[in-house]
A and B are shown apart, each in its own frame.
Chain A
Amino acid sequence: MAWQMAAQASALNEGQVLGVRLGETEVALYRLDGQVFATHGVCTHALAFMKDGFLEDGQIECPLHQGRFDVRTGRALCAPLSRDLPTYAVERRGAEIWVDLDQPGQAAPRPAPQPLASETRRLVVVGAGQAAAAAIRAAREAGFAGPIALVGEEPHLPYERPPLSKEALLDPAAAIPDCLDPTALNVDLHLGLRVESVGEGRVTLSGGAVLEYDALLLATGGRARRLSVPGANLPGVFHLRTREDAEDIARALRQARRVVVVGGGFIGLELASAARRLGVAVTLLEQAPELMARLLPAPIGAAFRHLAESHGVEVRRGLAVEAIAQHGQALLVSTGEEHFEADAVLVGVGLEPDTALAATAGCALKAGAVAIDEAGRTSIPGIWAAGDCAAYPTALRGAARRLESWQFAEDSGAAAGRSIAGAAPQPLRKPWFWSDQFGVNIQMLGLPLATDRVARAGACFHTADAAGQPTAIIAFNDAAAIRAARTALTIPAEARWLDQPEEEPPMDTHAENRGITLSRRYAWPAEGLTRIPDWVYTDPWIYEREVERIFKGRSWNYVALESEIPNSGDYIRSHVGPTPVVVSRAEDGSINVFENRCTHRAAEFCRELKGNVAEFVCPYHQWTYDLKGNLQGVPFRRGAAGKGGMPADFKVEDHGPRKLSVTTHRGVVFASYADDMESLADYLGPEVMREFEATFDGRKLVILGHYRHTLPGNWKLYHENLKDPYHATLLHTFLVAFGLLVAGNRSLMLADASGRHGVMCSAKSDPSKIAAEDKKEMRAFHDGMKLEDPRMMDFFDEFDSEWSVTMSTIWPNLIVQREMNTLGIRQIVPTGPNEFIMKWTMFGFEGDTPEMTAHRLRQGNLMGPAGFLGLEDNEAMKFVQDGMLRVPDGEHYVALDPATPEGTSDTLISESAIRAMYRHWREVMGL
């Protein structure tokens, strides 16, 4: 026993809660009717402090999810709570409050219901969900002493449903709390049974049993609405309503790599959130133009969408599912024009109230549900209804409506229970709803309509009707605002009215940063391709998506020159995007590309930059791979002395590293993760291929050496730099000073039809013929400037091309440099959004004279990380990234040459090829 002083008694007023910290333990103190109670200070559900909660009727309501604990006993009273709060012994010592953390509090006895001895009426409750449980509890509490029978189709006691779309999907072992104690409340259970008929005071169950009633409560809930399209019943298509549904989905998510979620309402978004938490790729299809369109005004739907998108959900709007079909192991969701492949399809398109029994009993319906009054009575005497099968008792916003919410199930059930027991109903509470998605707690109080106007203040959206009266508040991670709004809905003066869907950041995912916004939203500026937002270059999620969709997508990635691996057993280390690969020449002359990762323990087994081997051996456990990347041998596969070893069904064929498709053209080797890539010729298109073949003209390549450098900029900046002829005469004063390139040069900025590839072309011209006005525009044209050794600028016309310079940007990782006679490959190896490595391979041709080789080397001073042009490009790109990182969340302005919106341009003063590249990028990225 260790009593310690916790607080001055004067610090704790009647009806208040006080948080204190005793050693490492957060403790909450409460004063009720002069008596002091102590509990642990942190909610058992999520990280929230009880001291921030709301104390009422001896119950503390958690600020985050409105879970309630009895402060005297610590008992968890409702969802989402499943664990009680520890209580501590507490006593007053003079003016001080003392607490002993080692002993529990003296739980105050719960008031026992006073049974009415005369009660003999029989209650039958049909439907064993949360409303049923609330009704039974309330009936007993109000003194109903007659027999109660509970009939449910599910084999379970009533349980809380909110966790089904949240914790239960993440952790199959998560406890789903029951919400009824049948023993304490003396309930006769008939679970796993359907009701065949009701009426005339009798309920007939499947199997024939008959229950007689004086009072009947219909709490039949509803069913998850099914998609009515072909294939909706295929295995792998899931709906969520029951515990079993949640278990099935949790299991499917564990095996899935990507899922399609159909429906952008609360359930759909919570499903998407769970899938993302488990690392599953998610495409969410919504039929309406915006998420939540049935429930909420568009600007709020957009906020939900931004939140989902910022967590990697691909949201597609305006797409209705037309069919689902089996496609190999996967499912193919078709919307008519588009097809989405998925390992599972999760459907969240709403609820259909189950009103069949009510209808046969003659109960009036409204809004598609059972009509009830505030006491839960239906139009038929002796029959009550509650929960999802019932409509809201009064008109809401001028119409009959349903409210499928936890609170309404609880309240309507309690009202019916009290009414059955003969007690008056509690007053109706303001509609309240909560959702947890993507780490954000979202609460809604009041009833917004999709047609309401919206104002935003901080992390809260306020809605108002046509008369300007506030109708609801929707708060992202702001429980305090919800609590304040329980007293009165008001719209703060500083709130900003939003008359358009707001392209603003979603809320932060951390409760402690509430109100702070993440800058990650992926809305392209309204101006279109003349603007490029910074997140394209700096965002980690965008980068990951690029790796998946571009480098590992349908692309031919440069990996090597054939001359680097002329003989059997020759290899080099290379990369596809950031992924290290080995490029090797096998005994049959074939070139093979496979991931440089041992399939055993992931070791990057090939360490030398290049070499010649008979086989690759992972040094860690000597697993060996042949020159084609096939796993050959595994030491002690059969164990030693009859013990250990691999499982009997182990086959080396099943455990090779990932092999890539390979193609070569004119001595250049490309690899792809796609197994069904189009030919290189189709990939490049005829114009880019023509320039490719002008440089790689069939002569055998001779490697002259490499440059390697890092560049602290986004990898796409390099493409853009070479699709930006505008910079050439302005940044590269050298070119102008020595008359190599001027604005009046004959030039072309070529873009292929797809926009991804480009070739910047120019033809050397005689400096004496440059027009005077062109010279004026250039930063530093000095007529007198001459090189002491002008050989560097010589051009020997060795190519079948009208251009003396071509810089080909071949998507996604290759630059082919033909700067007069200095020739090079540049391979982009991205290492993150803010940096990449560039590997250069300079080459000449077999048959070059020593003088030609010397010339190529001299001219090489233009290029590379110390080249007159190369160092400036690298520095400029670093400055660009620095600017974005230090003055963030801006956009680039790339509007030059409006006459050519996107594509090939014959002027140097153009950015049309950059725009073409981003047209393609956005298509591939789905942004």
Chain B
Amino acid sequence: MPDTLTLDPRLSALLLRAEVDAFNTAYCAALDAQKLMEWTEFFTEDAFYSVISRENFDSGLPVGLIHCEGRAMVKDRAFALLKTAMFGPRYLRHMVSNLAVEAPRADGSFEARANYIVFEVLTDRPDARILQVGSFLDVFRRVDGALKLASRRCVYDTLLVPTALCIPV
């Protein structure tokens, strides 16, 4: 987006929103395809990523199902899941909606939030069960012009995890 053009602020908000929307769509597509190494590309090097229950989040307790400080840990998560983890075969579908994007700060970073649902299908059951319902609490930053997640906290309402969370949210 050329800096020289002065856009109507409503238009730039709309463009940014479209950009985040496209980001989330690509992010979910990587996870749905279980291309976990591609998924790590969505984060900045110093990114924080956690999947945390609403119970903990509301109480200010830090424990999350997944807790990554930095992209190196995100990559370790992806690598370990791909290479070492044992879990039953499954398909996932991530759905994102109700996206809200805040105005960018001076450094270009900005906050966003969206609701999400993750459906999980096990190969021996007919139903797609809801694995998680929650919201993404995000901080985005541009790296070489491209949007990256500096922070994504996936705050889930579904306190009782059904058996295991094998693929990230």
Contacts and interface: CB of A to CB of B under 8 A. Distances in A.
Nearest to A734: B84
Contact of A712 (B52, B86, B161, B163): B163
Interface stretch (A428-436, A786-794, A892-900): A786-794
B135 interface: no
B162 interface: yes
A734 B80 contact: yes
Interface string A687-718: 00000000000000001111111111000000
B164 A874 contact: yes
Interface string A868-883: 1011101110110010
A878 B122 CA distance: 12
Contact of A868 (B64, B72, B85): B85
B67 interface: yes
Interface in B67-118: 67-70, 72-73, 75-77, 79-80, 83-88
Given A706-B63, A789-B70, A878 B161 contact: no
Contacts of A842: 63
B22 interface: no
A634 interface: no
A792 B88 CA distance: 26
Interface residues of A, number: 43
A707 to B, nearest CB: 7
A819 to B, nearest CB: 14
A22 interface: no
B63 to A, nearest CB: 3
Given A857-B67, A866-B65, A708 B160 contact: yes
Nearest to A705: B63
B56 A706 contact: yes
Contacts of B166: 866, 871, 875
A865 B73 CA distance: 18
A450 interface: no
B160 A789 contact: no
B86 A733 contact: yes
A872 B85 CA distance: 7
A785 B53 CA distance: 31
A876 B63 contact: no
A42 to B, nearest CB: 41
A882 to B, nearest CB: 8
B63 A711 contact: no
Contacts of A234: none
Contacts of A861: 66-68, 73, 77
Q: Which of B75, B80, B163, B166: most chain A Cβ within 10 A?
A: B163
A858 interface: yes
A709 B164 contact: yes
Contact of A871 (B56, B64, B165): B165
A837 interface: yes
A780 B84 contact: yes
Contacts of B84: 733-734, 737, 780, 868
A365 interface: no
Contacts of A860: 63-64, 67
B143 interface: no
B33 interface: no
B163 A707 contact: no
A731 interface: yes
A867 B76 CA distance: 12
Contact of A872 (B63, B67, B87): B87
Contact of A792 (B56, B75, B76): B76
Nearest to B56: A705
A707 B63 contact: yes
B51 to A, nearest CB: 7
Contacts of A704: 61-63
Given A789-B72, A858-B73, A866 B51 contact: yes
Contact of B55 (A609, A792, A871): A609
Contact of A879 (B55, B83, B88): B88
A787 B159 CA distance: 30
A865 B62 contact: no
A80 interface: no
B164 A857 contact: no
Contact of A708 (B53, B69, B79, B83): B53
Contact of B61 (A705, A854, A865, A867): A705
Contacts of A711: 163
Contacts of A866: 51, 65-66, 161, 164-166
Nearest to A861: B67
Given A789-B72, A789-B76, A705 B163 contact: no
A887 to B, nearest CB: 14
A875 B161 contact: no
A376 interface: no
A682 B72 CA distance: 47
A870 B164 contact: yes
A787 B76 contact: yes
Contact of B53 (A707, A792, A837, A876): A707
Nearest to A871: B164
Contact of A734 (B56, B72, B85): B85
B55 A865 contact: no
A734 to B, nearest CB: 4
A662 B132 CA distance: 36
B44 to A, nearest CB: 15
A864 interface: yes
Contacts of B63: 704-707, 842, 857, 860, 864
Contact of A858 (B67, B75, B80): B67
Interface in A84-120: none
Contacts of A705: 52-53, 55-56, 59, 61-64
Nearest to A702: B61
A734 B163 CA distance: 19
Nearest to B159: A708
Contacts of B87: 871-872, 875
A866 to B, nearest CB: 4
Nearest to A864: B65
B86 A875 contact: yes
21 contacts: A704-B61, A705-B62, A706-B55, A706-B63, A707-B53, A708-B161, A709-B161, A710-B163, A733-B85, A780-B83, A789-B69, A789-B72, A853-B62, A857-B62, A857-B63, A857-B67, A864-B63, A866-B65, A867-B65, A874-B163, A875-B88
Given A857-B64, A866-B51, 6 more contacts: A705-B53, A707-B65, A858-B73, A861-B77, A865-B65, A866-B161
- 6 closest Cβ contacts across the A-B interface? A705-B63, A705-B61, A866-B65, A788-B72, A789-B72, A866-B165
